[in-house]
Amino acid sequence: MVNVEKAISEGNASFEPEPPDVYGDAHPKDLLRAITEEHEYLQSLANSHIASAAQFDRKQLMQLFRLAAKYEANPDRFLTPVKPLSGKLLISAFYEPSTRTRLSFESAWHRLGGDIISITDRSTSGIAKGESLADVAEMFNNYGDCVVLRDNQENSVTEMMKSLRIPIINAGNGTDEHPTQALADLYTIFKWRPDLLADKPEKRIKIAIVGIPSRMRTVRSLLTLLACCSDMVDEVNIIHDGQSKELYSPGQLENLTAAGLKIRESTNLTGSLPDADVVYINAIAWVKDSYEIMGEELKLDINSPLKPGAIILHPLARGPELCTSLDSTIHNWYFAQARGAVFVRMALLTCMVQRTDMVMDIL
C-alpha cells in the first residue's frame, strides 16, 4: 500500500472543523467591553503610511484593538449591505517568503470585500530587470488603493514612500521592523488579560523575550509597542545566548528605558521561565536573501519550567526552539496570535483606506 493510501485507511483524511479553544482562542468580547469607542483615533490613521511601530500611540492602539475585537467577535456583522472594502484594490507585494503575513493580509482584505493583485516573487516583477522600487511605487499609484510590502532591504519601504500617493504598510523590511506583527502580538496579550488595558493595571506582567532586539524585526517592533504600554509591564527580560556582539541597535535601549520599560538581560532561559507571565520566543532573523538562526540552545518544550498560566507567543515560522509538545497545552497562545493577526489587519486596513465610517457604532 502506498503512503497516501495507508494514511487514508488509518483515518487521516478527516479533520475536526472546530478550532481547539484551549490554545488561547479566547473570546474578544471582554476586550471589546473594556475599551470605549473613540472614532477620531482611527481616522487619524488615514492618509498615512505604516512603516514603523513607533508611529502608533496608545490611544490609536486601543482603538485598533477594539475594532479588531469587533470584527473577531462578530465576523458576519459588516458583510451587508455593502462590505467595508468593496471597490478597493490591494497590491500585495511580497519579495521575501511569507506564510502568515501575506495570507492574513489577503484574508483580511477579502473578508472585507476588497480585491487583490499580488506579486509573490521578485523574479516575476520589473525589479528583476533592475527597476527601482521608487519607479515600481509610481506604477502602484495607478493600480490600487493600498500596498502591503515585504522586502529584505531595510530601506525598501522608505524608497517606495518617495513616490507613493496611496498608503503602504511595512510587512517586514529586512532586520528592521514588522509593525503589524507587533500589533498582533499586543492584541493577543490584551485578549488574554483585558485587565491590562487599565491605565494603571493592578497586576503588571513580566515578559521574557527570547531574541536579539538589534537583529530581529519582530522583537524590535514588539518592544516599541510595549514602550507605548509600559504601565502594564513590570519588566522585560531579554534572553539571549551571549553570542551577539550588539544586543541593541544604537539608541534602542535608551529609548525603551526612557519610555518607562524596565529591561534586563539573561543568558539563563530555564532560570528565567518560572517568573515570566509572557514568554515571547523567536529564533529567525532575515538577512539579505536568507535567514540566520540565533540562540540555538534556547528552546522550549513541555518540560520547560513555565509559570502556571504563562502564555507563549511566537511570530512563527517555528523551528526547533518551540517544540510541538507545547501545542496542546494552555501555554500555547501562538496559534491564537496568528489567528488574531487577521482581525488586527482588518482593522488597520479599514482605517488606511478611510472606511471606518462603515464600521463604527457611534459617529
Residue ranges in contact with ligand CP by CB under 6 A: 98-101, 172, 178, 181, 315-317
Residue 319 in contact with residue 284, Cβ under 8 Å? Answer: yes
What is the closest distance, in whole angstroms, from the C-beta atom of residue 338 to ligand CP in the complex?
A: 7
Residue in 340, 264, 352, 363 with CA at minimum distance from that of residue 70:
340
What is the closest distance, in whole angstroms, from the C-beta atom of residue 217 to ligand CP in the complex?
A: 8
291/268 Cα distance (integer angstroms): 24
Q: Which CB atom, from 54 or from 317, has the smaller least distance to ligand CP?
A: 317
**The CA-based dihedral angle spanning residues 249, 255, 257, 263, taken in that order and rounded to the nearest 10 degrees:** -20
**3-state SS, residue 239:** strand
170/255 Cα distance (integer angstroms): 21
What is the closest distance, in whole angstroms, from the C-beta atom of residue 359 to ligand CP in the complex?
A: 25
Q: Could you tell me whether strands 168-173 and 263-266 are parallel, antiparallel, or unpaired per DSSP bridges?
A: unpaired
| Cis preceding-peptide flag for 20 (omega within 30 of 0) | no
Alpha helices by DSSP H, listed for the chain, are 3-9, 29-34, 39-43, 58-73, 100-111, 133-143, 156-161, 179-192, 217-228, 252-258, 269-272, 334-352
How many degrees, rounded to 5, is the angle at CA 129 between CA 124 and CA 133?
85
What is the closest distance, in whole angstroms, from the C-beta atom of residue 346 to ligand CP in the complex?
A: 16
Q: Which CB atom, from 180 or from 356, has the smaller least distance to ligand CP?
A: 180
Q: Which CB atom, from 101 or from 152, has the smaller least distance to ligand CP?
A: 101
Residue 154 in contact with residue 217, Cβ under 8 Å? Answer: no
What is the closest distance, in whole angstroms, from the C-beta atom of residue 50 to ligand CP in the complex?
A: 15
Q: Which CB atom, from 78 or from 94, has the smaller least distance to ligand CP?
A: 94
Q: Which CB atom, from 99 or from 325, has the smaller least distance to ligand CP?
A: 99
Centroid of chain to Cα 71? 17
**Phi first, then psi: what are they for 197, rounded to 5°?**
-75, -15
Q: Which CB atom, from 120 or from 354, has the smaller least distance to ligand CP?
A: 120
334/102 Cα distance (integer angstroms): 17
Q: Which CB atom, from 175 or from 181, has the smaller least distance to ligand CP?
A: 181
**3-state SS, residue 100:** helix
9/62 Cα distance (integer angstroms): 50
Residue with C-alpha cell 483524511?
13
What is the closest distance, in whole angstroms, from the C-beta atom of residue 305 to ligand CP in the complex?
A: 26
Nearest-Å Rg of the Cα atoms of the chain is 20
102/178 Cα distance (integer angstroms): 12
Cell of 70: 469587533
Q: Which CB atom, from 42 or from 93, has the smaller least distance to ligand CP?
A: 93
**Residue 331 CB: number of other CB atoms within 10 A?**
22
What is the closest distance, in whole angstroms, from the C-beta atom of residue 132 to ligand CP in the complex?
A: 25
What is the closest distance, in whole angstroms, from the C-beta atom of residue 315 to ligand CP in the complex?
A: 4
Q: Which CB atom, from 100 or from 111, has the smaller least distance to ligand CP?
A: 100
Residue with C-alpha cell 485587565?
195
What is the closest distance, in whole angstroms, from the C-beta atom of residue 171 to ligand CP in the complex?
A: 7
What is the closest distance, in whole angstroms, from the C-beta atom of residue 288 to ligand CP in the complex?
A: 16
Q: Which CB atom, from 35 or from 346, has the smaller least distance to ligand CP?
A: 346
